[in-house]
């Protein structure tokens, strides 16, 4: 089945860089994406090559393996987003509970995929992050964050970042941190999806967040959400 094409992706093909130390995987991904109208502009066999290629080719999306020789995918993600902040990094992993995946999300990666992903899901994922959204499987992301997040020891400084948010925006951020989609947020808060999207956009703007991945990480690291809390439980009123 051909994945749906978003309006933003319909006008042009995303330009993709594939970074993986296994030639077979790079070749397979190139064939899969090209066959589905996505432009693979380059390949890299390690993190250093990925950083150099990203600077030269300016791809829209980098498919980034974490565990590569020389410079690993984590350091490569940091360098790429530092120099080309408009680029989106999609992490490839063989483990859904990989501490390096959490670290990559903290650095600004837009999501992650398991390497056994179907061809249709791979193409749809690239198109999704190309539009500026994040690719998060809520249950897996929540488990990742709960396992690896460590609250900051900075005390009051942590909460200063959230002081610009209204009580409603804090509530929305808390539910985002629990992995709720916009539709689930709307149902939980008895709001329209359009209103929820407006709240989410304001949260991103006030906190300088790229996407939902960073929102999830921030919600845990500021202790707005604590490990073990599940979707549907609201934070106490301020």
Any domain includes 146? no
Q: Convert the pLDDT of each residue in 108-148 to its tens digit.
A: 888 888 888 889 989 998 998 888 776 765 556 666 666 66
Which ranges of the chain does DSSP label H, i.e. alpha helix? Answer: 7-10, 23-35, 47-57, 73-83, 99-107, 119-130, 138-148, 156-160, 167-177, 182-189, 193-207, 212-221
Any domain includes 238? no
What pLDDT shows up at residue 5? Answer: 39
136-167 per-residue burial string, b: 16 or more CB within 10 A, e: under 16: bebeebbbbbbebbeeeeeeeebeebbeebee
Any domain includes 122? yes
Q: What is the token pair recorded at 79?
A: 């360098």
Both 192 and 121 in a single domain? no
Q: Convert the pLDDT of each residue in 185-222 to its tens digit.
A: 899 999 998 999 999 999 989 998 877 877 888 887 78
Both 124 and 11 in a single domain? yes
Number of domains in the chain: 2
Both 71 and 107 in a single domain? yes
- pTM equals 0.69
Q: Convert the pLDDT of each residue in 28-86 to its tens digit.
A: 999 999 999 999 999 999 999 999 999 999 999 999 998 898 899 999 999 999 998 88
Pairing of strands 61-65, 39-44: unpaired
**Statement: residue 170 has pLDDT above 70:** yes
Both 51 and 111 in a single domain? yes
Q: Which domain holds residue 62?
A: 7-135
Any domain includes 116? yes
Q: How far apart are CA 201 and CA 176, in angstroms?
A: 12
Both 31 and 108 in a single domain? yes
Residue 113 gets which letter from DSSP? E
Both 100 and 179 in a single domain? no
Any domain includes 229? no
What pLDDT shows up at residue 4? Answer: 40
């Amino acid at each position: 089945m051909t994945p749906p094409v978003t309006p933003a992706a319909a006008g042009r093909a995303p330009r993709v860089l594939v970074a993986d130390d296994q030639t077979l995987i790079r070749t397979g991904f190139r064939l899969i994406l090209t066959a589905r109208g996505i432009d693979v502009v380059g390949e890299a066999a390690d993190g250093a090559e990925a950083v150099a290629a990203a600077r030269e080719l300016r791809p829209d999306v980098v498919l980034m393996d974490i565990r590569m020789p020389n410079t690993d995918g984590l350091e490569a993600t940091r360098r790429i987003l530092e120099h080309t902040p408009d680029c989106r990094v999609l992490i490839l992993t063989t483990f859904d509970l990989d501490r390096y995946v959490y670290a990559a999300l903290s650095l600004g990666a837009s999501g992650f995929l398991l390497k056994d992903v179907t061809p249709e899901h791979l193409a749809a994922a690239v198109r999704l992050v190309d539009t500026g959204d994040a690719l998060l499987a809520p249950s897996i992301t929540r488990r990742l964050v709960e396992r690896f997040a460590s609250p900051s020891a900075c005390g009051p400084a942590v909460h200063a970042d959230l002081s610009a948010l209204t009580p409603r925006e804090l509530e929305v951020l808390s539910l985002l941190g629990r992995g709720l989609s916009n539709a689930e947020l709307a149902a939980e808060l008895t709001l329209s999806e359009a209103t929820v999207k407006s709240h989410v956009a304001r949260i991103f703007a006030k906190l300088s967040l790229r996407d939902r991945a960073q929102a999830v990480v921030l919600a845990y690291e500021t202790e707005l959400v604590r490990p073990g809390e599940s979707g549907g439980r609201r934070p106490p009123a301020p």
